[in-house]
Amino acid sequence: MHLASAQRLFGLDLLRAAAVICVFLNHFEFSSKGILARLFANYGWFGVDLFFVLSGFLIGGQLFGKLAQGAVFSMPEFYFRRLARTLPNYFAVLLVFYVLWPEKPLGAAEPLWRYTFFLQNFAPLKVFFSSWSLCVEEHFYLVFPLIAMAAWRRSGSLGLYKIIRDGAIAVLVFEVCLRAAIWSVIRPDLKSSIDEAYQSYFTWIYYFTPTRFDGITMGVLLGALSAFEKEAWIRCVSRPWFWAVLGLVLVAAGAGINHLSIFGLQSQKQFGFFGSTLSFTFFALGFACWIFPACRLQTAPHWTIQWGIGGIARLSFAIYLLNVPVLHFMKPISAHLGIDPGGGLSLLVSFGVLVVAAWVLYRGIERPALHLRDRLWNRQPSFAGPKTS
């Protein structure tokens, strides 16, 4: 099965829903110290890395699908459609941080121009910290079609996959080397306090765009594989259990490296070398493996599961943008009602409020913006995969 033949795949919706739920659980402040609470507190953040792989795969598949079919790729259309997809929701939530944030509004805490031009992840983030991943994706949207079209004009469709494959390997090696070089300069493991270690690590390694292209690169490689090497793609998709298990092993390896280097050591040894350099690459490789079984899983076993997972996936962009402010506002409300802000009941109520808020944002801003986009630019993309965020 070639991905371009699918209108919407349940497997990809499942990955997207899992990714955004992991992010939500990572941002939730558990009062319990149980295994599940510590698992999501320490590793829920890698839902963002899964989003990166999905984004690279779907956007890369759209572009390469057109080139493989001999269709004309329009750069203005690509930029228009991507900006119309991301900007309305983003600026709506940005307004919440700018006007309604109770402690210190965005404009007072950080320069607003950084958020306007998606440059906030090049400096310490204080308020809308979850927006860093949007910066990485917007920077990717900016440069990816330029590089892909330059490579296509140089080699044509036949040689483009080889360039993408070799380029992906080079990017992964470069990312590890760059993180290693930055780590050697900032040495977060030698900081005098955990706060200093966190700020240096997150500012210059975790949030920093040049160090976070592993996942998107692997997604782009899979998008190219699905478009240009169809027989190889079909063989890979036909072995879902192999790729699912291999992906699990790679993700577990990345989590193990990350744990031993960051969370398993004491005050003077936070953010060690291997966790700061290699774990992102292992996560990217593992999540890329899960794309194959996800593309094999076309429908859910029951319509209720399809409806639930599909709904969360459809709202995933809005959920991601809103999860931090919703959790922030729900914490004092839960305490006022006598509910443990870090307990299970508060978790369920907060997620319910988050889904409702995301639905309002989706119906009020995101969907109308997409409809307007399609009316203003009537041409439909030739790659008919699931909607991207």
Please determine, for residue 106, whether its predicted confidence score (pLDDT) is greater than 70: no
Q: What is the mean pLDDT of residues 236-258?
A: 94
Please determine, for residue 355, whether its predicted confidence score (pLDDT) is greater than 80: yes
Q: Give the pLDDT band of residue 271 (cuts 50, 70, 90).
A: confident
Is the separation of the CB atoms in 217 and 171 below 8 Å? yes
Out of 21-30, 150-159, 271-280, 343-352, pick the least confident.
Answer: 150-159
- What is each CA distance from 383 to 62, 64, 146, 223, 376, in whole angstroms? 5, 9, 19, 11, 19
Say what percent of the chain tops pLDDT 70.
90
**Total of domains in the chain:** 1
User: Any idea which residue has 């930029």 for tokens?
Assistant: 79
Assign 240 to helix, strand or coil.
helix
Amino acid 364: pLDDT: 96
DSSP state letter for 364: I
Q: What is the mean pLDDT of residues 380-387?
A: 40
Q: Which of 249, 227, 294 is nearest to 71 (CA)?
A: 227
Amino acid 300: pLDDT: 85
Q: Which of 297, 351, 332, 310 is nearest to 23 (CA)?
A: 351
Amino acid 295: pLDDT: 95
Amino acid 261: pLDDT: 56
Out of 81-90, 187-196, 285-294, 319-328, pick the least confident.
Answer: 187-196
Please determine, for residue 100, whether its predicted confidence score (pLDDT) is greater than 80: no
Inside any domain, residue 381: no
Please determine, for residue 167, whether its predicted confidence score (pLDDT) is greater than 90: yes
Inside any domain, residue 389: no
Number of H-type helices and E-type strands within the chain = 17, 0
Phi-psi region of 30 (alpha: psi -120 to 50; beta: other; left: phi over 0): beta
Q: Tokens standing for 73?
A: 């790729």
Inside any domain, residue 76: yes
Q: What is the mean pLDDT of residues 89-100?
A: 87
- What value does the mean pLDDT of the chain take? 87
Query: Sign of torsion, CA 37 211 13 341?
Result: positive
Q: Which of 25, 19, 76 is nearest to 52 (CA)?
A: 19
Domain that holds residue 46: 3-376
Assign 341 to helix, strand or coil.
coil
Q: How far is CA 160 from the centre of its chain?
A: 25
Inside any domain, residue 267: yes
**Length of the chain (residues):** 389
Amino acid 233: pLDDT: 96
Please determine, for residue 257, whether its predicted confidence score (pLDDT) is greater than 90: no
**Cβ contacts of residue 371 below 8 Å, gap of 6+?**
none
Amino acid 1: pLDDT: 42
Inside any domain, residue 46: yes
Inside any domain, residue 215: yes
Inside any domain, residue 210: yes
Please determine, for residue 382, whether its predicted confidence score (pLDDT) is greater than 60: no
Inside any domain, residue 387: no
